[in-house]
A and B are shown apart, each in its own frame.
Chain A
């Protein structure tokens, strides 16, 4: 139990989805507009019971599609409200057009994104294809290893997204079923403490302000579009600083520390694994195991994928000799998105030139076991000793028909 300086927290067993619903209840947004899709459904269902029992002031709009969900979220945010939603996979894909609109209109909509594979074939299990498909949309993307992190990230989300130097929408990602549906014990903070931490929402150019009427969603010609986008980009650049500031305040208030990434046994690591989300739990266990056998291995667990902290990660990788990146989504015909970002980091933000090795794993909920991780690490050591990654580059892990 971490020490909170505010109020009385509770240790509870809860699913990741349930934890996010609790965070939403505590944040008490003005509007929630959402459409159900597995495996994010519990977030919306739990929240519905809070609405039905008068535990929140939220106006809950049961929209008829995810595209309408994001539309209503943008409308409600432009009307000066604090707005939240949740979705996965095809739901995110359906609202894809509007993710860009939310970001460019600088509406700090907050989303729980329960990661699930994009169709096809249709699959309800975990991979990161949905959030990766949205990585250019202008949303801040924070990844959560477990239920506690998902909850903590959502509690921090409003302060990050609504910061006047940022004002961008934010999605907190957690792995579908693995995190969303598994019951883990976690610390649920006190309602009043969360509310005090999150603070009030400040409307900006509200469309309900008839005394100062504004026009939202104007058309830009060639003379203004790129300036508006440059302004949007600045919000993202500022978010790197703001995420750290809000996380520091969170640590002071609730006792749990988060950065832009977690450096796990990285100081003297020659082999560094890079990954997102729940797989990191397993990886940490294998890292510890192999450390006892003398292997100098560590994990770089990335929390903020957007904005991507190139300079900071570059520093963290400054001693690495081989960096093995595990992508839980595919960019067909190219390297995975995480591998591409790490390559950019190593290319421009480090003085050292470690070997770079990328793998794809876990699509559609395919398991990554401790044994697989151990194999990846030992094969990385072999590559390092050979001085080349050879034909292991781009290997998909645990696929029947391909070597391991």
Chain B
């Protein structure tokens, strides 16, 4: 093996990075996601979280599903299934049930894990029923929602995950409208009500944290859920090289706290210091630029973020008193 010329320094690789680069991947290049779409960051991790099992994956209809599977091209290097928009969890429930059946009948011996992916459209809204059903029935599957805050694949229409004041094609800015009215729905909280063994919020910018959480979620026997902040280049109106930076800023202003809940015990994984004002994140994106004329909306947005963060700190203190801030 040859040594390579460097600046003299070689970066120390984190354990997560080491694990990732030493294992074969899931997702090939040549897919048709927009340039700079960060979903390829988390799909790259699927088969790399563990050697103890193999992964079977599935998607709800959406950007990631469409762009990765245009016949006859598939970016998926693992078994993968998509059927429709609102039923990814139900479809995988059937796959997982068949797996359990075949194992019980002695017809199959290997260890498999099941991962379902969907955007906020296919998860918060049209897919909520089937997600709730699958989680409640206790299937051994992990649901990963890549939340970009709108129905992006059909052209940026609002979803229940769209943040307050965002311009979308169904909540456009006009003389009577400042964009999306009302606060977004908190799906992570809804998932907490399903008695799951593991629920987490993560972001595509923090590789180590995301990798660790994906491993925990998939390792766990039983239903688990990860909500992932995943910026959208055309939807958020940011430059193609800014997805990671935008996610980082969204976390640094507490819009998207990184935390996990294991058997009801909350752990806040990252406390930004200093906490950036929400306005800094908001005005880094074209979808909010009109809010310069609506300071009251930005103030309301900040108030909501503060309220949710306070709730989170309270839950951590209540359920995880041993944890030092």
Residues of A within 8 A of B (CB): 30-31, 33, 57-59, 61-65, 67-69, 71-81, 83, 97-98, 101, 105, 206-210, 213-221, 224
Contacts and interface: CB of A to CB of B under 8 A. Distances in A.
**Lowest 9 A-B CB distances belong to which pairs?**
A75-B94, A72-B94, A64-B133, A217-B82, A68-B90, A71-B90, A79-B98, A76-B94, A59-B101
Given A71-B130, A215-B69, A218-B71, A30 B79 contact: no
A394 to B, nearest CB: 37
Nearest to B58: A75
A68 B83 contact: no
Contacts of A218: 69-72, 74, 82
Contacts of B84: 71, 97-98, 101
Contact of B69 (A64, A206, A219): A219
B85 to A, nearest CB: 9
Most interface-central of B70, B71, B79 (chain A CB within 10 A): B79
A254 to B, nearest CB: 26
Contacts, number: 165
A34 B5 CA distance: 63
B319 interface: no
A71 B83 contact: yes
Interface stretch (B102-110, B170-178, B184-192, B310-318): B102-110
Given A59-B100, A78-B95, A207-B56, A214 B79 contact: yes
A219 B71 contact: yes
B76 A75 contact: no
A213 B55 CA distance: 10
Given A74-B94, A208-B99, A67 B130 contact: yes
A215 B76 contact: yes
A83 B90 CA distance: 14
Contact of B94 (A58, A61, A214, A215): A61
Contact of B91 (A71, A80, A221): A71
A208 B83 contact: no
B78 interface: yes
Contacts of A217: 65, 69, 81-83
Interface residues of B, number: 45
B56 A30 contact: no
B191 to A, nearest CB: 16
A228 to B, nearest CB: 8
A64 B69 CA distance: 28
A72 B93 contact: yes
A363 to B, nearest CB: 31
A224 B73 CA distance: 12
A216 B90 contact: no
Interface in B31-56: 54, 56
B70 A74 contact: no
Given A208-B79, A208-B112, A75 B70 contact: no
B97 A31 contact: yes
B79 A210 contact: yes
B309 interface: no
B90 A31 contact: no
18 contacts: A57-B101, A59-B100, A62-B137, A63-B137, A71-B84, A71-B91, A73-B94, A75-B90, A76-B101, A78-B95, A79-B95, A208-B98, A210-B78, A210-B79, A214-B79, A215-B69, A218-B82, A219-B70
B65 to A, nearest CB: 8
Nearest to A80: B98
Most interface-central of B56, B95, B132 (chain A CB within 10 A): B95
B259 interface: no
Contacts of B90: 63, 67-69, 71-72, 75
B129 interface: yes
Given A71-B90, A219-B65, 14 more contacts: A59-B97, A59-B98, A64-B136, A67-B86, A72-B90, A74-B83, A81-B101, A206-B79, A208-B79, A208-B98, A208-B108, A215-B79, A218-B71, A221-B71
Interface in B111-152: 112, 129-130, 132-133, 136-137
